[in-house]
Amino acid sequence: MKSQIPVSEITKRHPDMLYCSTDREYANLANEIYDLVGKVLPYVDDREMRNACVSLALYFEDIHSGTHQFDAFTRLYGKMYGMYLPFYDSRDVSSPEAELDAMKFVLWLSFVAERAGCILNPTNTSIADVAGTLLNHWNSKKHSISPNEELADYIFSEETQDNPYLIRSVLVWLQNRSYLGRWYSNVVMEEDHYGLKKIFVKANNQQLREFTEDCSVFEYRSWPLSIPATKAYAEMIRIDMDDPDDEIAAEIEKMEYAKLNIYKIQNTDEEYLVVEDFMKQRYNVMLDSFDLGIRRDAKKNTHIFGSFFSFRGDWFANGHSLLFQMSDKRYAEHCQKENREYSMFHDYQGQYEDLIKRNDGKRLFFFNNPEDFEKWMRGKIGIEHLGSFPVSDLPRDGAFMAFLHPNGQMLFSFGAECIKSPDNPYYNKSKAEENAMGLCLMVGGSHPDLVIYLIEHNLVPDAMLNDMNGKEHGRLLLQDNLEFMVRCIRRDIGSDKVVRRRREPGLTYDNDDNEGQKVNFETFVGILRQEETVRSKANKLWRLVSCDLTTTVIRDVDNFRDFTMPTRNLYNAYIEIDKDKIQVSTVSRYVGKVNAPAASALLYNTVGKGRNWNEMFKSLDKMLRLMEKGMK
């Protein structure tokens, strides 16, 4: 085997680039995965392939070493959406296909993480095939690969969990380098944000990178659920300790952050540096958390540029800080600027409530051009002078929407043609089918709160994934997982509140009007198992011989001939074909021409239009048998 992935690729994906004695074993595993997957997915760029294979090796390291990353994800996902995993039908870890479903999900995640917005369909046959191959390979290798006890000890040791800076290193790892945290669109402040290179002139690029990561880990969300890294780490600890009320986990989840800014020095003593922000909020920062130069010169200066984080009630310096002198006048000007920016997003609740009331409770409005919006603002809202309002910046090449945010701001977005609302004259179904997914998932395209509002009110029912099983299957799949996909792809959803759980569990709907429900795979199998004999439209008798999660066997009673087919193919036919259109010709593409008559009869009478007729037939048949028995 030609080595493609060096040991360093494993090491640098650990907290603080922790080198572990097992790193070579997992690097070898990553190379074996590279050889297996590269043959099946030749269209993937080599760099993307290498990174994805490292992530897959780290998944095996996690489940083999008891670091509980995947355990924490599935537990949190279950609390939010009521199932074990997105996309698939396993209800919990004990479900028959849970291990394979987990492998499929991690495979999908690992490649999408590298592909800069190229969204793969998680139910593609190739993903299932590769996942099965990887799982078989792992099961054949895991007994010869050592668990990474050093990594588990680092994460869960008392030494780490008592040290706020080691805790922060775990958080940075979870957010950016773990296989669940690594993502093409992770928001990390650029090195030049705030002009850091000019401020910290002695810092090298590596130090600046670490500094921006230290700040970003508290400011931004990550993992496929768009959650704070503190929440992920806390859940891992609860699982490791088998204690939902673990004290350290609770303290980590409560960690706070004072963002990178200018702070006025109020006092310095042997224990604390007391600083104040532009809102007069004071922070008693542990003096020994600063470097020697800050501790020595704090009393000689009036202000400090830096950020801070709290743990167990104490505040600590977060990375580099810079002391300097600043006049009261200059600092007052700075505070005025910060207060103006803060008030823009926090002080207009009353305005929001007034606008909502004056617009009959509506929050979403649609316009064909900026002039229409300007007329609406003057007429409906009553704002005669728009002043500096950037009307000229509004879209001119298509209809757009305006959304009233609870903070009083008005947000704008392209994509009005994707919104299915009685108030939207610009809705276009064909354009919605093409563009609605991008509207929801594109980072920076629409405000995350607007997207969540659209999902909550079912305003993007046409959003769909490209799907080899047909357009309707792709629509149902995305609709059932839309909020999760938004959280996973964008990772900028600022709330843990769930507005759309998976439907009872895994339910999807037949059509846009939400009439009639289609059940998940396991429920579908249960429905089939209840049948013994069905009659086709031609009054031909068929008997269900057996049905499990893998294979279904149906017998032609008259000719005593059995027809065997994959149960999943039957399910795909059920999902995509309208119940009124189940017939031999429509089912054949899923199970083949030979099996189509048997499959059509079974589906038509159990989950299709003939279901009621089939129930009546069984009742009559039962009655006739009772009558015959009575006559004897």
Q: 294, 322, 343: which is the final residue of a domain? A: 343
- Which pTM value belongs to this model? 0.78
Model confidence pLDDT, tens digit, residues 297-316: 999 999 999 999 999 999 99
- The least confident of 179-183, 325-329, 508-512 is 508-512
- DSSP string of 168-199? HHHHHHHHHTSTTT--TT-----TTGGGHHHH
C-alpha closest to that of 148 among 54, 19, 234: 19
In a domain, 318, yes or no: yes
Phi-psi region of 319 (alpha: psi -120 to 50; beta: other; left: phi over 0): left
In a domain, 515, yes or no: no
Chain centroid to Cα 511, Å, comes to: 25
39 and 59 in a common domain: yes
388 and 259 in a common domain: no
In a domain, 168, yes or no: no
Q: Tell me the helix, strand and coil percentages in the chain, rounded to 5.
A: 50, 15, 35
In a domain, 423, yes or no: yes
Mean pLDDT of the chain: 87
C-alpha closest to that of 520 among 610, 433, 607: 607
CATH number at residue 272: 2.40.50.140
Check residue 207 and give its pLDDT.
80
The residue with greater pLDDT, 483 or 386, is 483
449 and 539 in a common domain: no
484 and 411 in a common domain: yes
Q: SS3 string of 504-571?
A: CCCEEECCCCCCCEECCHHHHHHHHHCCCEEECCCCCEEEEEEECCCEEEEEECCCCEEEEEEHHHHH
Model confidence pLDDT, tens digit, residues 177-233: 999 999 886 655 454 455 677 777 777 778 888 888 888 899 999 999 999 999 999
CA distance 444 to 125: 31
Phi-psi region of 458 (alpha: psi -120 to 50; beta: other; left: phi over 0): left
In the chain, what percentage of residues exceed pLDDT 70? Answer: 87
615 and 531 in a common domain: yes
In a domain, 218, yes or no: no
With cut-offs at 50, 70 and 90, classify the pLDDT of residue 523: confident
Instruction: Classify the C-alpha dihedral 569-571-575-578 as positive or negative.
Output: positive
The residue with greater pLDDT, 78 or 608, is 78
88 and 31 in a common domain: yes
Q: What's the total number of domains in the chain?
A: 4
- The least confident of 73-77, 269-273, 517-521 is 517-521
320 and 289 in a common domain: yes
74 and 28 in a common domain: yes
Q: 490, 506, 530: which is the final residue of a domain? A: 490
Check residue 269 and give its pLDDT.
92
Model confidence pLDDT, tens digit, residues 15-66: 999 999 999 999 999 999 999 998 777 677 888 999 999 999 999 999 999 9
Segments forming the whole domain that contains residue 295: 255-343
Burial (CB count <10 Å: 0-12, 13-18, 19+), residue 219? middle
